[in-house]
């Protein structure tokens, strides 16, 4: 039976911290940001934590080997 492979697109879009949290990019950060305040731009530039348990399980199955550190 062949080895299971990690979903590379999911791996590129997410970061797993040492404590097991999943960080993803914030939404609505593509363009039209000139009217935003500096603080809002800075906050949106940081990663957003995934908190949904069901979503974490899906990501863990997508990330196979690199998702072993995810704490649910």
Local mean pLDDT, 10-residue blocks, the chain (72 residues): 85 89 89 93 89 90 83 82
What pLDDT shows up at residue 36? 94
- What residue segments make up the domains of the chain, in order of their start? 8-63
The domain made up of 8-63 is a member of CATH 3.30.70: no
Tell me the pTM: 0.72
What pLDDT shows up at residue 35? 94
* DSSP labels, 10-71: HHHHEEE-TTS-EEEPPSS-SS--TTS-HHHHHHHHSPEEP--HHHHHHHHHHHTTTTTT--
What pLDDT shows up at residue 38? 94
What pLDDT shows up at residue 31? 92
């Amino acid at each position: 039976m062949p080895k299971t492979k990690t979903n590379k697109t999911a791996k590129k879009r997410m970061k797993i911290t040492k404590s097991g949290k999943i960080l993803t990019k914030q939404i609505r950060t593509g363009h039209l940001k000139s009217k935003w305040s500096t603080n809002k731009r800075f906050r949106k530039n940081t990663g957003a934590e995934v908190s949904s348990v069901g979503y974490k399980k899906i990501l863990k199955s997508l990330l196979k080997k690199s998702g072993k550190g995810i704490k649910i």
